[in-house]
């Protein structure tokens, strides 16, 4: 009878090999899960960043100033679980908004932000987040900040149970290894000899079992290897299709696209950009210095240099492109330059988008010229009408005086002098409007100027029953503007007189309120004059600042035009709208904080 050798070392090696194969498959499975989870996290971050940018654009589009209701409406329009707060440049809350059912998110908006230089690198900045929420900070125009609280979205339907799946897999792997050891033990020569001793039949060929086991393991490994190779091939094909699709999209864009790397070399450009700059590389392997490519548009090179150096973004800039015809002609390009790189990290490249705006600019200039000529026509017609009326009145009084005795000529003479004085004042106002303003700006307290103007109207307000109030929402330091005090007082006087004349035409309570508040930026002060008069006809709102345009029987229509000119000369802005009831004029003026501190 043949002797059976119980080779325990070989059996242990086979078991270890099978265990390693199973563990390797498990590690590969975990690696695939980790990659999918990472991609899911990136997709979630990209979606939240896109929501934040879209909300910021909606808020910046609100004119003149965003309100809580307008921001809440923008949040509802996005359909995302968010709450938002707007902060000024010093980090103080201006307003907060949320949607019904999301008050928990609104409670996470702080009253003050501690802003530092760590948020300067990117426009959308992760700002932390816990307890089921995620927080972002977006910089708005006018040195303001948009603070957004997101309700954290799940990565995928299975993401939250990933740990349970991994624990279950570990249990299955351990059970499988234990089962393999048990099966090997059952099929070992010793076990088979003990089991067959009663039957008197003992196997003699243990080598067949070893060969069969190795063949099974090798077959499984080959099968897994083919599956991984097939999966890798599908991933490569998917990546190639995505890359080809992206290249087709970029190639067919009507907007020129140029990528400049950190060393200043142009590494990519689409056909639309090469139509504008013939020296751009035609292949991805070429690299050309951007200063040589954009030699006919030096301002574009300067924007790219600043973007690569400081990570700054430049949007909707208009620059000149000198043509190659040699006749000195130029074209106008609309350019946006954006840094490319990880959030908070170094700038890796600059992306420049450009569009030929020459025809648009020429059309805009033609429309502007036509509007100017139309305004001049209306102004000339108004001036002629006023002169004709005054001259006719003067002529009538002169003819009346010619037929009267000296004793009876006193009243017509005074009326004649009054009409001549009014005509002289109109000509003086027109000359003041036509000549350039010679400003002498000094720090001026806006509240003092307003109160001085109201004091000059005190008798008229009392006789007409007009209630005037001044509301100053800022301190004296913040209410100080850099202005020519005499010209600014004249502009505010014209606006206040316009409000008084409006409320005098109505029955019932007559109210005028003057409000001084902080502007959109820390460097602006807003003056608001509101009345409860009949308002301004909608068709006249765009013509209210045209010289000699007026809807009233009295006056020459030069006061508001002169006021607009004074405000613009100070670097400010004036707007008007109907308030239902009445009208409201808003003036934005540059603050003089720096002048006071010095």
pLDDT at 383 over 90: no
Rounded mean pLDDT, 280-306:
79
How many domains, the chain?
4
pLDDT of residue 512: 92
Question: Residue 383 sits in a domain of what CATH number?
Answer: 1.10.287
Which pLDDT belongs to residue 33? 67
Say if 117 falls within a structural domain: no
pLDDT band at 200 (very low <50, low <70, confident <90, very high): very low
Nearest 5°: the CA angle 162, 163, 164 is: 90
103-117, 140-154, 478-492, range with greatest mean pLDDT: 478-492
Domain that residue 327 falls in: 253-356
Q: Quick one: average pLDDT of 290-317?
A: 86
Residue closest to 174 by CA, chosen among 22, 327, 349: 22
pLDDT digits (tens, 9 = 90+) for 522-558: 678 899 999 998 888 888 888 888 776 676 655 566 7
Domain endpoint, select from 249, 278, 304: 249
Residues 192 and 231 both lie in one domain: yes
Candidates 594, 592, 576; CA nearest to 484 is 592
Give the CATH number, domain containing residue 495: 3.30.565.10
Residue 431 pLDDT: 59
Q: Is residue 122 part of a domain?
A: no
Q: Percentage of the chain surpassing pLDDT 90?
A: 6
3-state secondary structure 464-511: HCEEEEEEECCCCCCCEEEECHHHHHHHHHHHHHHHHHHHCCCCCCEE
pLDDT at 585: 93
pLDDT of 463 higher than 60: yes
236 shares a domain with 261: no
> For residue 148, is it within any domain?
no
How confident is the prediction for the chain on average, in pLDDT? 75
Is pLDDT above 80 for 497? Answer: yes
On whether both 28 and 177 belong to a single domain, the answer is: yes
Examine the domain organization and report whether 342 and 284 are in the same domain.
Answer: yes
Encoded tokens for 157: 């339907």
Q: Which of 394, 411, 434 is the last residue of a domain?
A: 434
What is the DSSP secondary structure assignment for residue 377, as one 8-state letter? H
pLDDT digits (tens, 9 = 90+) for 142-172: 778 888 887 776 665 544 445 555 566 666 7
Confidence band, pLDDT 50/70/90 cuts, at residue 515 = very high
Collapsed DSSP state (helix, strand, coil) of residue 595:
helix
Does one domain contain both 200 and 324? Answer: no
- Whether residue 535 lies inside any domain: the answer is yes
Q: Are residues 334 and 478 in the same domain?
A: no
Tell me: do 260 and 309 sit in the same domain: yes
- pLDDT by residue (tens digit) across 214-245? 778 787 878 888 888 888 888 888 888 887 77
User: Is pLDDT at 438 greater than 80 in this prediction?
Assistant: no
**Residue 299 lies inside a defined structural domain of this protein:** yes
Q: 79 in a domain, yes or no?
A: no
Report if residue 514 sits inside a domain: yes
Q: Is it the case that residue 41 has pLDDT exceeding 80?
A: no
Q: Per the domain annotation, does 144 fall within a domain?
A: no
Q: Are residues 520 and 583 in the same domain?
A: yes
Same domain, 581 and 477: yes
CATH number at residue 311: 3.30.450.20
pLDDT interval class at 328 (50, 70, 90): low
The whole-number pLDDT of residue 427 equals: 67
pLDDT of 436 strictly over 50: yes
pLDDT > 70 in the chain, percent:
66
* Band (362; pLDDT cuts 50, 70, 90): confident
Give the model confidence (pLDDT) of 71-99 as tens digits.
888 888 777 788 888 888 778 888 888 87
Whether residues 478 and 570 share a domain: the answer is: yes
Same domain, 494 and 577: yes
For residues 429 and 565, give the distance between their C-alpha atoms in angstroms, rounded to a whole number: 12
Residues with Cβ within 8 Å of 503's Cβ and at least 6 positions away in sequence, in order, are 464, 466, 510, 511, 512, 531, 532, 533, 582
Q: Picking from 443-447, 476-480, 523-527, which range would have the lowest pLDDT averaged per residue?
A: 476-480
pLDDT at residue 281 in the model: 72
Same domain, 452 and 551: yes
Per-residue confidence at 177, pLDDT binned at 50, 70, 90? low
């Amino acid at each position: 009878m043949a002797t059976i050798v119980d080779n325990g070392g070989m059996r242990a090696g086979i078991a270890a090999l099978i265990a390693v194969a199973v563990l390797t498959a498990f590690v590969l499975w975990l690696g695939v899960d980790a990659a999918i989870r990472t991609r899911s996290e990136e997709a979630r971050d990209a979606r939240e960043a896109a929501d934040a940018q879209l909300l910021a654009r909606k808020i910046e589009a609100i004119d003149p100033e965003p309100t809580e209701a307008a921001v809440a409406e923008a949040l509802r329009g996005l359909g995302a679980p968010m709450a938002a707060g707007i902060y000024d440049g010093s980090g103080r809350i201006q307003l907060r908004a949320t949607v019904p059912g999301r008050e928990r998110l609104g409670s996470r908006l702080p009253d003050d932000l501690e802003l530092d230089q760590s948020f300067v690198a990117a426009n959308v900045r992760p700002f932390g987040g816990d307890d089921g929420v995620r927080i972002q900070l977006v910089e708005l125009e006018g040195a303001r900040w948009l603070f957004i609280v997101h309700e954290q979205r799940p990565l995928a339907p299975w993401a939250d149970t990933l740990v349970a799946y991994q624990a279950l897999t570990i249990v299955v792997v351990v059970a499988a290894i234990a089962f393999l050891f048990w099966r090997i033990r059952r099929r070992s020569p010793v076990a088979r000899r003990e089991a067959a001793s009663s039957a008197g039949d003992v196997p003699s060929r243990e080598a067949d079992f070893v060969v069969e086991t190795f063949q099974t393991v090798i077959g499984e490994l080959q099968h897994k290897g083919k599956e991984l190779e097939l999966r890798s091939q599908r991933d490569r094909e998917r990546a190639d299709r995505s890359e080809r699709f992206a290249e087709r999209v970029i190639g067919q864009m009507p907007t020129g696209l140029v990528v400049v790397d950190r060393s200043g070399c142009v590494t990519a450009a689409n056909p639309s950009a090469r139509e504008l700059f013939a020296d751009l590389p035609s292949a991805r392997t070429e690299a050309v210095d951007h200063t040589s490519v954009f030699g006919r548009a030096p301002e574009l090179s300067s924007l790219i240099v600043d973007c690569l150096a400081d990570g700054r973004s430049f949007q909707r800039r208009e620059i000149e492109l000198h043509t190659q015809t040699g006749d000195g002609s130029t074209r106008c390009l609309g350019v946006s330059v954006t840094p490319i790189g990880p959030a908070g990290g170094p700038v890796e490249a600059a992306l420049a988008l450009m569009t030929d705006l020459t025809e648009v600019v020429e059309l805009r200039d033609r429309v502007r010229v036509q509007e100017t000529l139309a305004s001049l026509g209306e102004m000339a017609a108004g001036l002629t009408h006023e002169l004709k009326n005054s001259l006719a009145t003067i002529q009538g009084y002169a003819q009346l005086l010619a037929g009267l005795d000296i004793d009876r000529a006193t009243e017509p003479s005074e009326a004649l002098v009054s009409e001549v004085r009014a005509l002289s004042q109109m000509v003086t106002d027109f000359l003041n409007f036509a000549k350039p303003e010679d400003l002498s700006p000094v720090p001026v307290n806006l509240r003092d100027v307003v109160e001085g103007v109201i004091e000059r109207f005190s008798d008229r307000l009392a006789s007409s029953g007009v209630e005037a109030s001044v509301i100053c929402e800022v301190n004296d330091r913040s209410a100080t503007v850099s202005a020519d005090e005499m010209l600014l007082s004249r502009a505010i006087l014209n606006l206040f007189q316009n409000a008084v004349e409006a409320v005098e035409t109505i029955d019932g309570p007559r109210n005028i309120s003057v409000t001084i508040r902080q502007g959109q930026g820390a460097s602006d002060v807003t003056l608001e004059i509101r009345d409860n008069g009949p308002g301004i006809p909608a068709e006249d709102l765009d013509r209210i600042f045209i010289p000699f345009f007026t809807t009233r029987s009295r006056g020459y229509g030069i006061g508001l035009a002169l006021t607009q000119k004074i405000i613009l000369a100070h670097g400010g802005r004036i707007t008007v709208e109907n308030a239902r009831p009445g009208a409201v004029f808003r003036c934005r003026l540059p603050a003089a904080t720096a002048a006071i501190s010095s």
